[in-house]
Amino acid sequence: MHSRRTVLTSAAAAAAAAAAGAAPTHATAPAIGPQPSPAAAPAPSAATRARLRRLISRMSPEEKAGQLFVMRVYGHSATDPDPADADANRKEIGVANAAELIAKYHVGGIIYFGWAHNTRDPHQIADLSNGIQKAAAAQRVPVPLLISTDQEHGIVARVGAPATLFPGAMALGAGGSRDDARTAARVAGQELYAMGIRQDYAPDADVNVNPANPVIGVRSFGADPQAVARMVAAEVKGYQSAGIAACAKHFPGHGDTDTDSHIGLPYIHHTAEEWERLDAPPFRAAIAAGIDSIMTAHIVVPAFDPSEDPATLSRPILTGILRERLGYDGVVVTDSLGMEGVRKKYGDARVPVLALKAGVDQLLNPPDLAVAHAAVLKAVAEGELSERDIDAKLMRILLLKERRGLFKDPYTTPGAVDRVVGTRGHLATADRIADRTTTLLRNDAGILPLSRRRERRVLVAGVDAAAPSGTGGPPTTVLAKALTELGFTATALSTGMLPTQQQIDEAVAALGERDAVVVATYNVSADSRQRKLVAALLATGKPVVQLAVRNPYDIAQLDGVRAALASYSWTDVELRAAARVIAGRRDPAGRLPVAIMRADAPAQPLYRIGHGLTY
């Protein structure tokens, strides 16, 4: 496993070293310091609680179990999906559409995905949301659904243009402005609300101290726990001020792993003291800010649970630490139960039961809903899960729905979409925020900014990463277009993530007719063929500007590059901002929120947190 100690920032490494100690060997949550009193939402009235208790008392066991699930469903319509989507629903869920899903399983929530064809455009999304709520209202015990999605922005965005898309978490971390983070979340929340979505699985509260992390990376605000905590709290306040339930993820912290929990089971080898210093601050900040929900991680933390159950299924972690130590009494939702990290140790029938026993309230996206629903019912019938505990979970979920206005009015309107989603003012706000995020890492000999007189003809080469649906791209095309609009004559040439020798030769030949090249790189490793492309472009003697369009660590692998930038994503809003910096229309204002370590000496920083040049 990649050693965490080789990639921490200097301050974090010193703190971790000072706190190093033996991991506890007991299954109870260790003492982790004094606990601040979390700032809670206004307490619901006695009348509200009584009304919700009456609602719960009307539910059958099947309805109660269903309310604990948040499920995917294919299709753009609640009742009339495309035939292929209806077939996919029948195959995976045993129903044809969202309305049938609600009628059969009484689910408490539905999650939207682009790949499930839920998010074609804002008006379609609003119609789908209204159709779902109409189906819920027609049930024997009508309960509005909590409709959710993963709209982190940056590299994770389920709703694309014409909705407003903001820089992702690490870009905002580079900007360093809590006001910008709060504004981005508030505006994004307003647009989600107008489309009938009332929960966003954001912000990401992981502290990304491991450059080898394959699943978090730029989804995190950075590697400084206190800085991440400030940004997380700002986004929580922004989303929830817009009426959206925010969700901090992935508890107890997914930032120091080199395994992707979608395909494996990661281990976090932090001691309790290291966790307190490195992972806990953002979750504490989220709770203090009144966070509505917290998502679990499918990770093993032996210091907290020597049984080596993933945190999603660990009572010492979810009840012992999150509930009791941190004092959190909001909704706890699992990460997707279809991920391999939670399925490795137990079968699909045991996972939902163990998660509920551990302290979970909502079960997200099980691979087989029929199996999961039946397992929960069986556990209640046999006394493994008490009805009293199920009712307490339902109360948390219903209180969240009450707080977000779903019992009052779960619907939206076409007019709300037109007034709110993708407005000129919102788009301008996103551009202004993006202008404060691009980071200039290196600028030897003043290569940047490029001059329209000296380097008028520009080649834009490199990767064309697959952008999230509707978020724009491809990167070389977006950059070339943006530079052309800024007065250059720019031409795009995609060479891919694995450029062949022929593609490299074509790029070199194309540069021969131009004055400079901007090369977009993507997660360059020691054996990446992108290194060969950059070396060949450098050998021409023409000015080469390297732009990291995902993780900012690429420069450590690219010897000889004299002008290097990081945009932290390949989405349009960040690429346009990078183009303005390259063209000298904006000064680079971003500062590294993570350390970049040397490739030849991974324990030594090449650039520390806070590094960033200006013109």
The tens digit of pLDDT for each residue in 372-387 reads 999 999 999 999 999 9
3-state SS record for 102-136: HHHHCCCEEEECCCCCCCCCHHHHHHHHHHHHHHH
User: DSSP secondary-structure letter at 195?
Assistant: T
Whole-angstrom distance, CA of residue 372 vs CA of residue 204? 27
Cβ pair 167, 130 in contact under 8 A: no
Distance of CA 494 to the CA centre of its chain: 27
> Looking at the predicted structure, is the pLDDT value of residue 591 above 60?
yes
Strand partners, 151: 157
**Tokens read off for 464:** 């064309």
Cβ pair 297, 312 in contact under 8 A: yes
Lowest model confidence (mean pLDDT) among 26-40, 163-177, 391-405, 464-478:
26-40
Strand partners, 295: 333
DSSP strands (E only) in 289-352: 293-296, 331-333
pLDDT score, position 19: 32
The structural domains of the chain, ordered by start, are 4-24+50-416 (3.20.20.300), 438-607 (3.40.50.1700)
Handedness of CA 506, 512, 514, 520 (dihedral sign): positive
> Looking at the predicted structure, is the pLDDT value of residue 403 above 80?
yes
Whole-angstrom distance, CA of residue 235 vs CA of residue 183? 8
Q: Which amino acid is at 232?
A: V
pLDDT score, position 265: 81
Mean per-residue pLDDT for 110-138? Answer: 97
Whole-angstrom distance, CA of residue 169 vs CA of residue 154? 7
Q: Left, alpha or beta for 94 (phi > 0: left; psi -120 to 50: alpha)? A: left
Instruction: Report which of residues 41 and 96 the model is more confident about.
Output: 96
Q: Which residues fall within 8 angstroms of residue 142, CB to CB, at 6 or more apart?
A: 136
Whole-angstrom distance, CA of residue 517 vs CA of residue 460? 6
pLDDT score, position 1: 36
Whole-angstrom distance, CA of residue 399 vs CA of residue 407? 10
Whole-angstrom distance, CA of residue 111 vs CA of residue 94? 17
Per-residue burial over 114-149, b if 16 or more Cβ lie within 10 Å, else e, is bebbbbebbebbbbbbbbbbebbeeeeeebbbbbbb
Whole-angstrom distance, CA of residue 211 vs CA of residue 148? 30
Each residue's pLDDT tens digit, 278-329: 999 999 999 999 999 999 999 999 999 999 899 999 999 999 999 999 999 9
Whole-angstrom distance, CA of residue 535 vs CA of residue 514? 17
pTM score over 0.85: yes
Strand partners, 566: 439, 548
Maximum Cα interatomic distance, the chain, rounded to a whole number of Å: 79
Cβ pair 137, 102 in contact under 8 A: no
Helix (H), strand (E) at residue 245? strand 245-251
**Tokens read off for 244:** 């959206």
> Looking at the predicted structure, is the pLDDT value of residue 34 above 50?
no
pLDDT score, position 262: 79
Each residue's pLDDT tens digit, 267-283: 889 999 999 999 999 99
Cα–Cα nearest to 266, from 565, 613, 1: 1
Each residue's pLDDT tens digit, 57-81: 999 999 999 999 999 999 999 999 9
Each residue's pLDDT tens digit, 121-130: 999 999 999 9
Distance of CA 474 to the CA centre of its chain: 21
Place of tokens 């509930």: 323
Cβ pair 536, 493 in contact under 8 A: no
pLDDT score, position 8: 37
> Looking at the predicted structure, is the pLDDT value of residue 576 above 60?
yes
User: DSSP secondary-structure letter at 204?
Assistant: B
Q: State the chain's mean pLDDT as an integer.
A: 91
Lowest model confidence (mean pLDDT) among 43-52, 112-121, 193-202, 483-492:
43-52
Name the active-site residue from 2, 262, 269, 611: 262
Q: Where are the alpha helices (DSSP H) in 31-82?
A: 46-57, 61-67
Q: Is 254 a catalytic residue?
A: no
In angstroms, the Cα distances linking 366 to 180, 371, 576 are 35, 9, 38
Mean per-residue pLDDT for 544-567? Answer: 97
* SS3 assignment, position 149: strand
> Looking at the predicted structure, is the pLDDT value of residue 528 above 90?
yes
Predicted confidence band of residue 27 (pLDDT cuts 50, 70, 90): very low
Side-chain half-sphere CA neighbours of 298 within 13 A:
26
pLDDT score, position 3: 36
Number of helices and strands (H, E) in the chain? 22, 18
Cα–Cα nearest to 547, from 586, 527, 575, 573: 575
Q: Is 389 a catalytic residue?
A: no
Q: Which amino acid is at 234?
A: A
Predicted confidence band of residue 33 (pLDDT cuts 50, 70, 90): very low
Predicted confidence band of residue 472 (pLDDT cuts 50, 70, 90): low
Name the active-site residue from 206, 256, 335, 431: 335
pLDDT score, position 470: 58
